[in-house]
Amino acid sequence: MTDLAHLNPRHRELIALVELHGHASIEFLAQRLNCSAQTVRRDIRKLCDANVLQRFRGGARIEKPQVRLGYATKQDVQQVEKGRMAALAVSQLQEGDALFLDTGTTCDHVARELLNYRKRLHVVTHNLTAALTLAAQHQLLDIHVVGGKVAGRDGALTGSRTIKELTSYRLDVAMIAVSGIDAEGYLLDFDSEKIQVKQTMMRHAGRKVLLMGSAKLCQRGIQRVAHLDEFDQVICDVPAPEEIQTLMAYPERWQEAL
Amino acid sequence: MTDLAHLNPRHRELIALVELHGHASIEFLAQRLNCSAQTVRRDIRKLCDANVLQRFRGGARIEKPQVRLGYATKQDVQQVEKGRMAALAVSQLQEGDALFLDTGTTCDHVARELLNYRKRLHVVTHNLTAALTLAAQHQLLDIHVVGGKVAGRDGALTGSRTIKELTSYRLDVAMIAVSGIDAEGYLLDFDSEKIQVKQTMMRHAGRKVLLMGSAKLCQRGIQRVAHLDEFDQVICDVPAPEEIQTLMAYPERWQEAL
DNA sequence: ATCAAAATGTAAGAATTTGATCGTTATGGT
DNA sequence: ACCATAACGATCAAATTCTTACATTTTGAT
């Protein structure tokens, strides 16, 4: 166990990317990490020496000791991009707005961004980490947590109680995150309990905002959450790829976070 | 764990900036903090020695952006004693027990202790930090969070909704913490909303357990929560002082955590 | 007001990282 | 077995970052 203490953000994102897919090619990683293939090779060699990854010709993979990939490492994927998307989403809020906040690391970034929002807001969430982050501003923000059963390491509350409580609200905005997207433009996720929560939030909100990093564009899920067209805004860190644009009735709803 | 006591405002700002994105470069920090890169390096070195940040070439990062160090770690008194009290309280649980868990740093210690408890348990709480701690064991533990409004930096949920939800439970144990005690043996606290939650938990639990560090024996509050005699166990880190013993109908309920 | 100690800024040299080049090695198809 | 292609490792130069040392400023106490 060598020094895994001072790994730079690129190392962390590299690990996260490999964990996310189980394996990744040098070229893919070089493109994602914005560096040369040479550097990726060096990083991989280092991480393999530290027994974090296993390498194969052309890339690296990870033996998953746990089926569930760590919530902590998910945070390392597209950290900067998630921050930018969160900032854009928050910048479009108005004083006094009431919003639903979904679970996921992207929404955690929104919570962090809201700390710097200096105006009154109402926030309703089933996201424990976000709620705890927001608690630092509880004098300014009106934060409501819906009841439920803790469903994941990230502190997502789900279950019939959660759904039932959500239905008693009617808010201005819902900020939703998902795991992936399919070829027809439907957003996907894995946990049906969490999907129910997302759908309920959308039904009880005026403006629906989707937060989806470009990494999600090539990822999947097992169950449909909603269609792209059901959202009033789609916030991403890159412009909409052509194949996505053709799936949208209103491609102008796509927004790129700079 | 070195001295976190005398952090100047720049240090706090630096930590906040690193927390915002999870990591930050020296250059970025120097610009935002209006100081030289060298000073930033010196600050970072200090904070890394204190285990607040981790450094990497070119900047620094923080391991858990979502856990604030404002609340739990900084001014928590009697940490060791609280750990011992928590261990004693947890040791008296039985597999399958269902318990209410109150807010406060003492109860956060109980949550941490429960992580090592290897048996099935049901936990109902309005304590966000505890719930998030317990989430790491969500496969083994059945964790329910009641809905409500975030009332403090520590992530306490309160309000009529919280009370109403609590009344639908009937659990084996309630673990309660308070701010102080008065001369007649009544436990005291400050926030009437939180007091209502404590009282409701007690009404809907079989065994009532009070967790009270010796520091609380000379502290006060502004409103009565309950009397010492209403608890089936009083866990403290010291033996009951004489003046307290005379106030209790059953002094044998007092337990000292070793 | 004065001095000592701590904090901050500046600069030069050392160390690390990175991308590119090039010869070597592994892989897959014929 | 052979060849074409892609991946790899070593090496080097350029760029960036770190450390060390020293000058300057600020702070606190007498």
- Asked if residue A63 has pLDDT above 90, the reply is no
Look at residue B69 and tell me if it is in a domain.
no
pLDDT at A258: 86
Q: Is residue B71 part of a domain?
A: no
Asked if residue A240 is part of any domain, the answer here is: yes
pLDDT band, very low/low/confident/very high, at B73 (cuts 50, 70, 90): low
Residue B67 is predicted with a pLDDT of 47
- Does residue A189 share a domain with residue A67? no
**Interatomic separation, CA of residue A42 and C1' of nucleotide C10, rounded (Å):** 35
Residue ending a domain, among A42, A74, A106, is A74
Are residues A241 and A227 located together in one domain of the fold? yes
The verdict on A156 and A173 lying in the same domain is: yes
The answer to whether residue B37 sits within a structural domain is yes
Determine the pLDDT at residue A3. Answer: 61
Percent share of chain A, pLDDT over 70: 95
Those nucleotides of strand D lying less than 7 Å from any protein Cβ are 6-11, 16-21
Kind plus residue range of the DSSP H or E element containing B241:
none
Tell which wins on pLDDT, A116 or A3: A116
pLDDT of residue A67: 45
Indicate if A131 and A224 belong to the same structural domain.
Answer: yes
CB B50 within 8 A of CB B4: yes
What is the spatial distance between Cα B169 and Cα A91, in angstroms, rounded to a whole number?
41
pLDDT digits (tens, 9 = 90+) for A102-130: 999 999 999 999 998 999 999 999 999 99
For the record, the structure tokens of B32 come out as 């935002």
Domains of chain A: total: 2
- Last residue of one domain, picked from the residues A74, A103, A129: A74
Asked whether residue A167 is domain-assigned, the answer is yes
Contact A19, A25 (CB under 8 A): no
Mean pLDDT of A30-57: 94
User: Based on the domain organization, do A87 and A119 belong to the same domain?
Assistant: yes
Token duo for residue A119: 């105006």
A91 and A207 within one domain: yes
User: Which candidate, B3, B4, B5, B32, places its Cα nearest to that of B16?
Assistant: B32
Q: What is the pLDDT of residue B70?
A: 45
Q: Tell me: do B243 and B136 sit in the same domain.
A: yes
Say if the Cβ atoms of B19 and A153 lie within 8 Å.
no
Do A149 and A64 belong together in one domain?
no
Q: Is B17 within a domain? A: yes
CA dist., res. A235 & res. A211, Å (int): 5
User: Is A132 inside any structural domain?
Assistant: yes
Q: Is residue A2 part of a domain?
A: no
- pLDDT of B76 reads 66
Share of chain A above pLDDT 90, in %: 83
- CATH of residue A202: 3.40.50.1360
Does position B74 have pLDDT exceeding 50, yes or no?
no
- Rounded (10°) angle between helices A105-114 and A79-91: 50
Residues A48-68, mean pLDDT to the nearest whole number: 83
Predicted pLDDT at B51: 87
Q: Which nucleotide is nearest to B60 (CA to C1')?
A: D17
Domain CATH number, residue A18 = 1.10.10.10
Among residues A74, A94, A122, the one where a domain terminates is A74
From the candidates B21, B137, B194, which should be mutated to test the interface with A, based on the most A CB atoms within 10 A? B21
Give residues 80-99 of chain B lying near strand C (Cβ < 7 A).
none
Question: Looking at per-residue confidence, does A71 or A180 come out higher?
Answer: A180
What's the CA–C1' distance between A38 and D10, in Å? 12
- CA–C1' nearest nucleotide, residue B46: C7
Same domain, B209 and B93: yes
A155–B135 CB contact, under 8 Å? yes
Domain of B214 in residue numbering reads as: 79-256
**A48 and A115 together in one domain:** no
The verdict on A198 and A96 lying in the same domain is yes
CB A35 within 7 Å, strand C: yes
Which bases of strand C have any atom within 7 Å of the beta carbon of a protein residue? 8-11, 16-21, 26-27
Which residues share a beta bridge with A206? none
Contact A256, A238 (CB under 8 A): yes
pLDDT in tens, A191-218: 999 999 999 999 999 999 999 999 999 8
What does the pLDDT look like over B140-175, one tens digit per residue?
999 999 999 999 888 999 999 999 999 999 999 999
A49 in Cβ contact with A39 (< 8 Å): no
Interface probe with B: pick from A142, A149, A150, A160, most Cβ of B within 10 Å = A150
Q: Are A132 and B23 an interchain contact pair (Cβ–Cβ within 8 Å)?
A: no
Residue B58 CB lies within 7 Å of the nucleic strand D: yes
Same domain? For A190 and A229 the reply is yes
Both structure tokens of A140: 């300014």
Segment A86-104 mean pLDDT: 97
Q: What is the pLDDT of residue A2?
A: 52
pLDDT tops 70 at residue B1:
no
